[in-house]
Structure 1
């Protein structure tokens, strides 16, 4: 037993179990993990190997003899009758029969109901009335001919296997004996994983997977490679969540059945997880709309009334190509079905996008052999914490930047609240602790917003999330690792002949293009590379060179087009396809190379020109400027004809740049090179 396991046994005696024992028995017995771990906690909570072996055998024999399998229900009923008394393990649900003024029990696997339940058990174990709990029950059999309407089965004694109630104070006090890192490791071991084999980043992702179980109405999306355990926690760990395999369901099943007047999955479970988002489909046309309504407000309208529920929504799926390739050609929500894939309103309701590609594929060594909380104890802790909220946890130390709209703020607050409940359930944390959680929350929501910007364009321009220290007023920005957009245009002066421009590519997306020009001694040849078979891009570059040859003397008498060779390479940095709007930037690049003088640092040159030097205005100026900002541009050179479109640009975005206007190609060259 390592140091952490010893500490866990000391402060949570009887609440912990060795996770490798669960794994061994679970592989051979199809019983719920929480039933199994309760028994292991009873018979194997010791360090002595011989006692553990005996305990495991005892658990196996109890399961073999007393666990009721549905296909053996009649055999077990016969044993109760023949023996007069027999012990069983089954799920028991209780209802009050107000006509007879008695509590009546229903046995899930045994398939009997109407069994009178002594009221003392109901008072002690309230969960019997709320969905039922697994129990060990001693059953008696007594048939009375005079009372033909009543059940001959009687309950002699009942012991809950699931936790009948949870002393939250026990966890609050116990938490104080562990450091932050130790407590995180305890939680990760409790879901069966070995934290020493995981990086710090992956540990945080594992905690994030638990947030929908601890936070009401939380919407999480996780897309990534296969084999990373995306659905494990919702299927195996918590008896309070349900996994909708294949993604196919109906409005009646998920929300409300109008015929039977019964609420659906969102009212019965703490968390509804959709496995394989690519397969999400509804027969009802209004299903997506109802789901959007529920994800935004926690309520939905069916028939004449509005229903409220607290279930969180989790969307799990696979990304079949590399993230880099997906970001260049599409967006990170692409695996969703066609009905949803371009619905920005749906994705805007997702509070956190967990990057599944950052989690390694699970191998045997990733599963722990050490102690963790009994699964049901963990699940009850998570469920109990849903009644609390820490959404204002960071207000004392920080406030959020101005790029976050109301939905962003709600998303960040919910994530912060969920992670605080998991890591600091007693509310004891300091400024550094909450800053770590706040940064993590902002990154996941910004990942959602970045993809919304790709799908919806200018409507979602405000993606530069930040938080401000209340004391120093220092503003910290967060970036999304896979975007890497901030480094496209580096700081400082570039090389002569190197120019950046932004335009709409062949795929319909706006991207950044880098034009590199090299000038060497020669006889006036012009060579161009990087254009492939794109005819319009080639024509734009040819236009630039012809104009350069005809007008270079207007720029400088020192430029020669007969004793120098010009080599030009065009790079489509974002992979959005080449563009026909390269002529003006290419002309500036040729002049910059010929004069051996670099353009101003972090500058983007916008606009294009005709063979005669006529300047074309920039289409979709606001969207283009947003891409300039994302790429790291600080200065923008644009045609004077685009000045009328400045009103379409959000003021916060326009203020990010030093803007210069040009009236002719020659004017553009002088301003780009900083020549007065």
Structure 2
């Protein structure tokens, strides 16, 4: 245990759990994390190792006896029948049977339906009526002569969520932690190791919590695959629901005008849309219009009646292109379906979380330290929805008058949410308040910058604030604006904290330069002797690959680890020579390894995932007959490079020695004998 873990257990005894225990107990149970942590919180909320071991055994025993696996539903039904009564853990949904004027429950895993539920239970837990709730149910079985009567009886139904908590104790305990310690505790609570993340990365992770503590908060996160965008919204809280962006309808989300039944926004604190991106997805225009009205006015219509709701809206999706490519060729909303690619809809977004800044999830990033039982934190955040922290910066700073009301709303809601998460006790220094305010402004500015690209009717806005102690004006820029100023029309100000070098705005046309250089290249042959050193992929290929948009590599021997590593180094050469704001497609034609095919595919998938970040679009195919003998590289701009040994040009070197120059730099490796021929071909 770390010093922080000791401190966490001291001040939040019984409310925290070691985060690696979830994987330990989960097994093949397909349940949200908050369900498992609810059980862990009952038996393992301690730092005592013996108690944890006993608690893990107890939780595993509870899951084994009471969690319903779909493929074991028949066995559980038999247990209930034979015992007459048995407690189960299952996802339960309820519907009104208006023909009989009764409520009937359906059990997702147990597979039984039309089980009577009393009205009091439904009134107490209305979410049972929409999408279902994970519950602990005391089930009974009693056979009736009347076959129309279900033998299944619900004796007691309890949703899996915290029954009570002490908010004042939470605030008092918060005061015992400095800001960095508190941030690390929150990061551990959502399952990540804070030592693997920088300060900004931690804050980006915590932005995902704002919809839980801020009413009617509209958040979008677009970025590469594998960054855990949907995790918090699917597993973190019993008050949020994650749905597929392609499955939603007006009746399901808002209201069914035929029946008058209220949809998801009327019952859940957060409605998150997974897989929201995808240009070709078809979306009902009427749905978009209703969403626009709801996101702006916090209400929707049911016939002649207007209904208010508090659900925050979260949209998460994957991008296909790198950040510089999007900034140069399109915009940061380009991946959205056409109906959502609407400036009026996008203007309702309060914060654009830059998914390209979030690390792809790796095994070592998960925490084994202590964090809040997520259900406890979820209840704390839910209670904070009743508070407003948006005016806490007014004693030190003021937004400039240029900023519109809608922009201010977005900034204020993000600021309020982050302050609730980081400083629920309201004891933040002026420097800390400034950091949160700038972060909130940046997230809204990212939205507005893209709206100005999409819709020319949007005027440029000065995103800045003034200091009350001297009137100094500070202009805020997004991180991508700092990195790629040539794609932004920023306000220049002498008082701005960062200066832009005008030369940065005059980037050379790399593509034209590459074409000019390409015309000077000649056909030739390179012969390398055995044991020769100083040879690198950069020297062999970079001149002939510059300017190519598509590169096809044919080599049947990219199978085992060292061969795949060679290929990865070849892709590194391409990543170094390509313009940052363009993309290159690299397609590999190879043969599937007879014995290690699954590992080969897994390695290719890792390469595909990681190279996409650099704008190298990698794909592959296997030659089904495995008769590939030719080894060559073909570009779409007129070159064919014949490789008699493929990319396997280096003699054995110690790949596991991180301190060996031959491991880290190709020029220090001894070569095998090989020849390369460069030929011009028709483009």
Q: TM class by shorter-chain length? A: 0.5 to 0.7
Cα separation, 2, equivalents of 1:283 and 1:515: 41
d(CA) in 1 for partners of 2:137, 2:230 = 32
The answer as to whether partners of 1:208 and 1:419 remain within 8 angstroms in 2 is yes
Specify whether residues 279 and 304 from structure 1 end up closer, same or farther in structure 2 by C-alpha distance, changes over 3 A only: farther
What displacement does 1:409 show? Answer: 0.4
Q: How does 1:290-329 map to 2 (within 5 A)?
A: 290-329=290-329
Report how far residue 7 of structure 1 moved: 1.5
Aligned counterparts of 2:119 and 2:23: Cα–Cα separation in 1: 36
Query: Are residues 1:24 and 2:21 paired?
Result: no
CA gap of 1:411–1:57, structure 2 versus 1, over 3 A, is: same
- Whether 2:364 is the aligned partner of 1:368: answer no
Match of 1:64 in 2: 64
Q: How far apart, CA to CA, are the structure 1 residues paired with 2:507 and 2:72?
A: 72
Structure 2 counterpart SS, 1:89: strand
Asked if structure 1 preserves the Cα contact closer than 8 Å seen for 2:485 and 2:505, the reply is no
1:403 aligned counterpart, secondary structure: coil
Residue 200 of structure 2 aligns with which residue?
201
Q: CA deviation at 1:383?
A: 1.8
Query: For 1:469-496, what per-residue CA distance to the aligned partner results, in whole angstroms no more than 9, with x for missing partners?
Result: 223222111111212366899999xxxx
Unpaired segments of 5 or more residues in structure 2?
495-500, 517-578, 583-683
Counterparts of 1:104 and 1:169, CA distance in 2: 40
What secondary structure does 1:244 align onto?
Answer: strand
Coordinate RMSD, CA, aligned: 4.1
Output aligned runs, 1:72-111, within 5 Å.
72-73=72-73, 75-90=75-90, 111=112
* Displacement after TM superposition at 1:413 (Å): 0.5
SS in 2 for 1:301: strand
- Quick check: 280-289 or 165-174, which moved more? 280-289
Separation (CA, whole Å) in 1 of partners of 2:55 and 2:371: 18
Among 465, 474, 480, the alignment partner of 2:463 is 465
CA distance in 1, matches of 2:454, 2:133: 46
Cα gap change, 1:216 to 1:96, in 2 (>3 Å) = same
Secondary structure in structure 2 of the residue aligned to 1:310: coil
What are the equivalent positions in structure 2 for 1:4-15 lying under 5 Å apart? 4-15=4-15
Distance 1:44 1:212 in 2: 29
Q: Mapping of 1:222-371 within 5 angstroms? A: 222-279=221-278, 281=281, 284-341=284-341, 343-371=342-370
**2:29, 2:138 → 1: CA distance?**
22
Structure 1 residues 574 and 72, CA gap change in structure 2 (3 angstroms): closer
Tell me, yes or no, if the aligned pair for 1:144 and 1:152 is still in contact at 8 Å: no
In structure 1, stretches of 5+ residues that fail to align are 493-498, 502-510, 517-528, 534-572, 577-676
State the secondary structure of the residue aligned to 1:395: coil
Question: What secondary structure, in the 3-state scheme, does the structure 2 residue paired with 1:263 have?
Answer: coil
Judged with a 3 Å threshold, the aligned counterparts in structure 2 of structure 1 residues 259 and 389 are, in CA distance, closer, same or farther, namely same
Aligned partner of 2:478 in structure 1 is: 480
Q: Distance in 1 between matches of 2:508 and 2:260?
A: 65
SS in 2 for 1:457: coil
Distance in 1 separating the partners of 2:64 and 2:185? 31
Q: Output the CA distance in 1 between the equivalents of 2:364 and 2:185.
A: 17
1:384 CA displacement:
1.9
Whole-Å Cα distance in 1 between the matches of residues 299 and 159 of structure 2? 34
Q: Would the alpha carbon gap of residues 282 and 251 (structure 1) be closer, same or farther in structure 2, given more than 3 Å must change? A: farther
Aligned to 1:617: none
Is the CA contact (8 Å cut-off) linking 1:250 and 1:282 kept in structure 2? Answer: no
Q: Secondary structure at the match of 1:399?
A: strand
Deviation at 1:500, TM superposition (A): 8.7
Deviations 1:30-81 (A, max 9, x none): 2232221122222223444444333222211211111234565564344334
- What residue number does 1:169 align with? 168
Classify the secondary structure of the residue corresponding to 1:300: strand
1:234 Cα deviation after fit: 1.0
Partner Cα separation in structure 1 for residue 514 and residue 185 of structure 2:
56
- More moved, 258-267 vs 214-223: 258-267
Say if 1:52 and 1:115 are closer, same or farther in 2 by CA, change over 3 A. Answer: same
Query: Does 187-196 or 72-81 show the bigger shift?
Result: 72-81
SS in 1 for 2:340: helix
Q: Tell me how far 1:376 sits from its aligned partner.
A: 1.3
Question: 1:604 maps to what in 2?
Answer: none
Q: Tell me, in whole angstroms, the C-alpha distance in 2 between the residues paired with 1:297 and 1:24.
A: 45
How far the C-alpha of 1:209 sits from its partner, in A, is 1.2
Alignment match, 1:561:
none
Does residue 178 of structure 2 align to residue 191 of structure 1?
no
Give the Cα separation in 1 of the matches to 2:117 and 2:334: 54
| 1: CA distance, partners of 2:119 / 2:301 | 40
Structure-1 separation of matches of 2:96 and 2:454? 53
Contact 1:127 1:165 in 2 (8 A): no
How many residue pairs get matched? 505
Taking a change above 3 Å as real, the CA distance of residues 158 and 268 of structure 1, as seen in their structure-2 partners, is: closer
Distance 2:128 2:274 in 1: 30
- Asked whether the equivalents of residues 46 and 52 of structure 2 are also in contact (C-alpha less than 8 Å), the reply is yes
- Residues 611-626 of structure 1 mapped to structure 2, 5 A cutoff: none
Aligned partner of residue 285 in structure 2, secondary structure? coil
Does structure 1 conserve the Cα–Cα contact (< 8 Å) formed by 2:94 and 2:128? yes
Whole-angstrom distance in 1 between the partners of 2:105 and 2:232: 30
State the alpha-carbon separation in 2 of the partners of residues 166 and 65 from structure 1. 29
Q: What's the offset of the Cα at 1:112?
A: 6.4
**Equivalent-residue separation in structure 2 for 1:330 and 1:135 (angstroms):** 46
Distance 1:260 1:452, change over 3 A: same
Cα 1:284–1:515, aligned 2, differ >3 Å: closer, same or farther? closer
Contact residue 324 and residue 580 of structure 2 kept, 8 A: no
Name the SS of the counterpart of 1:220 in structure 2: strand
Q: Using the alignment, how far apart are the partners of 1:154 and 1:350 within structure 2?
A: 43
Counterpart Cα distance in 1 of 2:506 and 2:139: 77
Residues 269-668 of structure 1 correspond to what in structure 2 (within 5 A)?
Answer: 269-279=268-278, 281=281, 284-341=284-341, 343-457=342-456, 459-462=458-461, 464-484=462-482
Q: Return the alpha-carbon distance in structure 1 between the equivalents of residues 325 and 154 of structure 2.
A: 65
Alpha-carbon contact 1:226-1:318 (below 8 Å) kept:
yes
**Could you give the per-residue CA deviations for residues 597-644 of structure 1, whole angstroms, max 9, x where no partner exists?**
xxxxxxxxxxxxxxxxxxxxxxxxxxxxxxxxxxxxxxxxxxxxxxxx
Number of the residue aligned with 2:53: 53
- Alpha-carbon contact 1:248-1:279 (below 8 Å) kept: no
Q: Is 2:465–2:473's contact at 8 Å kept on the other side of the alignment?
A: yes
Query: Partner of 2:181 in structure 1?
Result: 182
Shift of 1:331: 1.3
